[in-house]
Amino acid sequence: MTSPARTLGRLALGSALAFAGVAHLTFARKEFQAQVPEIVPSSPDTTVVASGVAEVALGAALLTARRRRRAVGRVAAVFFAAVFPGNISQWIHRRDGFGLDTDDRRFARLFFQPALIALALWSTSRPAR
């Protein structure tokens, strides 16, 4: 049994991921392309679509998973780590997107990724007894 706080965290994270995934595929597609590092072998649009599909799937899994909840949390954490280079690239190359139009704002955003990783792991783990 998980605590209400962990459940709320998991549901909030799942909802945010699903929303972000839909945004990748629709209205914010260009904004997300600004985050794709040059080292990614596919086109920025292909990368954004693929990550959008992954986010929708992860969001849905976080919202609905019961028996494999911890595994889903781990996959979400790995996903957040995998896309972190895009945030670094946006900061290094000074690309605007999502209101991140200053070096300070782009730098501050870098600290959110570890928080998302921690939330994914914490909200899907069992509380200590």
Residue 89 is classified by DSSP as H
pLDDT of amino acid 98: 85
In a domain, 127, yes or no: no
Domain range for 64: 4-122
In a domain, 96, yes or no: yes
Kindly report whether the global pTM for this prediction surpasses the value 0.85: yes
Give whole-number Cα distances, 54 to 6, 93, 104, 121, 126, in Å: 22, 25, 29, 18, 25
In a domain, 100, yes or no: yes
**The total number of structural domains that make up the chain:** 1
pLDDT digits (tens, 9 = 90+) for 23-65: 999 999 998 988 899 899 999 999 999 999 999 999 999 999 9
pLDDT of amino acid 1: 64
Quick one: pLDDT band at residue 128, thresholds 50, 70, 90? Answer: confident
pLDDT digits (tens, 9 = 90+) for 54-77: 999 999 999 999 999 999 999 999
Cα-based angle 28, 9, 79 (whole degrees, multiple of 5): 50
CB 125 within 8 A of CB 63: no
Spatial distance between the Cα atoms of 48 and 125, rounded to a whole number of angstroms:
29
